[in-house]
Amino acid sequence: MGAPPTQPSLECWETATLNDITCSWEVTGTQPIQPSLECWETATFNNTTCTWDISGIQPGNVFEENLDLCENTTLSLIAQTNISNPTFIWSTGATTDNITINSAGIYTVEITGGVCSFETRIFEVTLLETPIIENVISDGNDVIITTSNSGDFQYSLDGNVYQSSNVFLNVDGGLYNVFVKQRNCTSTITSQYLHFYIPKFFTPNNDGIKDRFNLSGIEFYTSSEVSIYNRYGKLLKFSKNSTFSWDGTYRGENLPSDDYWYVIIIEGQKFTGHFTLKR
């Protein structure tokens, strides 16, 4: 009597079969082929799972850039790189070093060159909305511009000098073209506005500052009447459908410091009140 030969040690991919004729173990099987690797990958055979374990991290820097896109315009995205002889693949499918876009969003470009040379650039593009003027009002001699949307807006009353505040202080009465734009955009929104206010005092001392009681801008209305009275109801000056400016005199004589009353009718709307003459 005898015993069969001992089965040899096997690799995980091998199979042993006893040959009754030769009375030996026949080993068959082939080690799994190593998969194709990227230049940054390493393959290690795992005898437990009988598979190739692949490790490695793709090299290359990732650059992020935030850009603004003005409404109804285009923007050029440029993939700058120090990689030699680079090739480009954009998320849009383009293969050039730059693309032109007309909508907001996130755009990426993969840049490669040579052996194991990689770079990714990410462009996050934000749309800058064109301002929408909601209203313009006069608060005393100040002008306030309100928009129905928000942004980094700039405001102007002449289209040349802009400011970040929507409030203009101590503005002379008159007809203005109001301008609003995004700080970094050229497109402007404009609206015509008649700024009219009634001064609370004037100082006719010939210093060049508030020397006259002016109702600037009243001449732009289709109809107007202005009457000025002293405290006893005596009519001192009257004007109809024209500019109005009073120097604080009556028949060539200077009137004293005091309160004086007005009745102003503009396009059928009546305004009454008083102002102060200070000498």
- Contacts of residue 142, defined as CB under 8 A and 6 or more positions apart, other chains included, come to 167, 168, 169, 170, 171
Residue 218 phi/psi, 5-degree rounding, is: -65, -25
Q: What angle do CA 162, 164, 166 make, to 5 degrees?
A: 95
**pLDDT for res 23:** 87
pTM beyond 0.85? no
Tell me, letter by letter, the H, E, C secondary structure of 147-208. ECCCCCEEEECCCCCCECCCEECCCCCEEEEEEEEECCCCCEEEEEEEECCCCCEECCCCCC
What does the alpha-carbon distance between residue 171 and residue 160 come to, in Å, rounded to a whole number? 16
- Asked if 145 and 87 touch (Cβ cutoff 8 Å), the reply is no
User: What string of pLDDT tens digits covers the 279 residues of the chain?
Assistant: 677 788 888 889 999 998 888 889 999 999 999 999 988 899 999 999 999 999 998 788 999 999 999 999 999 999 999 999 999 999 999 999 999 999 999 999 999 987 888 999 999 999 999 999 999 999 999 999 999 999 999 999 999 999 999 999 999 999 999 999 999 999 999 999 999 999 999 999 999 999 999 999 999 999 999 999 999 999 999 999 999 999 999 999 999 999 999 999 999 999 999 999 999
**pLDDT for res 232:** 96
What does the alpha-carbon distance between residue 88 and residue 84 come to, in Å, rounded to a whole number? 12
Length of the chain: 279
Residue 22 phi/psi, 5-degree rounding, is: -90, -10
**pLDDT for res 88:** 97
What is the side-by-side order of every strand in the sheet holding 224-229? 201-202, 269-277, 258-266, 224-229, 235-240
> Is domain 133-195 classified as CATH 1.10.3470?
no
Residue range 201-277, CATH number: 2.60.40
81 in helix, strand or coil? coil
For domain 61-128, give its CATH number from 3.30.390.10, 3.30.420.40, 2.60.40.10, 2.40.128.720. Answer: 2.60.40.10
- Contacts of residue 1, defined as CB under 8 A and 6 or more positions apart, other chains included, come to none
Q: What angle do CA 244, 248, 252 make, to 5 degrees?
A: 105
